Amino acid sequence: MRSGQRDLVEKLLPEIEIDLENEKAFSLAALFADDGRQVWLEIGFGGGEHLAWQASRNPDIGLIGCEPYLTGVVKLLTKIRADGLENVRLFRDDARLLVDCLPNKSLHRAFILFPDPWPKLRHHKRRIVSDSVLDRLAGALVDGAQLRIATDDPGYLEWILWHMGRRKEFDWQARSPADWRNRPEDWPPTRYEEKAISKGCKCAFLTYTRKPR
């Protein structure tokens, strides 16, 4: 690791890293000084392009990013410092640990962009889009909140559509392929998406809404 990167990990990261040790006291509001802001969550942010973009365009929103991959975390830390972003907090572990601690009705948006597809049947249980994660997100998202999911993997797309389609808490308002084949303007491309497109893959951009309770 270069010295600039070490400095980011040793100095900036501890200031914005989420510690679940004392999970009973875990509160999303407290992460952002209880200033009443809305909180969005991104699971598996990779190099953090999308998270940093959203944080810089939505300075009044608190952004939480989960990513266990240190190289990706360092990339995001570099952007946070370069752009002076003050509204980002990081969880450097399996997102499921954090999702399990999310209080009810605490989240205003969630993103799961190009999750690892785990194509082999015996690995499907590792997929992040799962009944247990969706149970927790359905509880944590406020009424009307968006859950955005993207994938370029046809098998995972089918899986997501099936898992989401049978949930009573979420609504999918797409009426034609244009509604999910095209990325909305307030949804920037990620590195993974760019790689997928360069290989000729087609991407799906799914926006679900948490129905009123």
Ligand X SMILES: C[S@@+](CC[C@H](N)C(=O)[O-])C[C@H]1O[C@@H](n2cnc3c(N)ncnc32)[C@H](O)[C@@H]1O
Site of interaction with ligand X (CB under 6 A): 43-46, 66-69, 72, 94-96, 113-116, 128, 190-193
DSSP letter at 93 equals S
Q: Which residue lies nearer to ligand X by CB, 144 or 184? A: 184
Give the number of other Cβ atoms within 10 Å of residue 102's Cβ. Answer: 20
Residue with Cβ nearer ligand X (39 or 43): 43
Residue among 59, 15, 11 at smallest CA distance from 37: 59
Residue 100 CB, shortest distance to ligand X, in Å, is: 12
Q: Which is nearer to ligand X, 96 or 211 (CB)?
A: 96
Q: Closest separation between CB of residue 35 and ligand X, Å?
A: 26
Q: Which amino acid is at 147?
A: L
For residue 205, the tally of other CB atoms under 10 A from its CB is 18
Render 161-210 in DSSP notation, one character per residue: HHHHHT-SSEEE---STHHHHS--TTS---HHHHHHHHTT---EEEEEEE
What residues are annotated to the active site? Answer: 116
